[in-house]
Amino acid sequence: EALAKARATLDRVAGCINEASGLLWDCCNPHNGIGPGVDWWWSGYLVKGCHCAYTNGSAVSCLLQAYAWLQNKTGEPPQAWLTTACRVLDTMCRLQEPSGNFGYTYRTDRPEMVDARGYAGVWFVPALAQAFELTENNDFLVAAEKAFAYYRGFVQNLCCWGTPMDTKWAPDQEGVLGFIRAAVLLHRLTGNDDYLTALGEGAEYEYLWCYGFRARPE
């Protein structure tokens, strides 16, 4: 029953592509009788009327993780999960800045970045790595490695900020989880041991979060 409910949820997510923007509607269920759309509890506080990197990036990451799990488990994963995730990632590859940044918010009427600030786009990196593993599309790997190098600077500075939907621009702990997963996947795919070093950097940030200040233990 739990698996059936999870599958139904992911089916709904995979069916919520916005054709105009090439991204997922951030809220799949109708809100106040309207939807799917982009506005939910964060509307009016953090962003309004925009697609968000955090919701889109984490959603496609979940779709691809579940697809890979079912592929290994049953050999018959839902093709729509992979197709939708790759459509979103194709859009993000086109929007990626030369620095590797994926930005924070995007227009709903066309594929265009609205706000480039923050760390939330890190969630596209493990999704891109997973998509490369599943499709062997080298564009996904190139985009993932470029983005990883950009977001690594936040981690090395012990200051990942602007990730979840309820912290405004404060430093946060959530985003580094996407970085950690990306480091594991990229090491598995490339064999480059520098990703293991980056994994250690991500672990330092994650484990130190409870202290509330930028310091590393001996």
100-159 pLDDT, tens digit per residue, is 999 999 999 999 999 999 999 999 999 999 999 999 999 999 999 999 999 999 999 999
> What is the pLDDT confidence band of residue 29, given thresholds at 50, 70 and 90?
confident
Identify the pLDDT of residue 182: 98
Cβ atoms < 10 Å from Cβ of 22: 19
Mean pLDDT of the chain: 92
Phi, psi of 27, rounded to the nearest 5 degrees: -120, 110
- Cβ neighbors of 1 (< 8 A, separation 6 or more) are none
Going by the DSSP 8-state scheme, the letter that residue 170 receives in this structure is -
Task: Say what the alpha-carbon torsion angle 62, 105, 50, 29 is, to the nearest 10 degrees.
Answer: 10
State the pLDDT at residue 7: 94
Q: Residue 35: pLDDT band by 50, 70, 90 thresholds?
A: confident
Q: What is the DSSP string of 101-165?
A: ---SEE-SSSS-EEE--SSGGGGHHHHHHHHHHHH--HHHHHHHHHHHHHHHHHHHTT--BS-ST
Give residue-wise pLDDT tens across range 47-105: 889 999 999 999 999 999 999 999 999 999 999 999 999 999 999 999 999 999 999 99
What is the mean predicted confidence (pLDDT) over 163-183? 89
What is the pLDDT at residue 168? 77
CA atoms within 13 A on the CB side of 160: 28
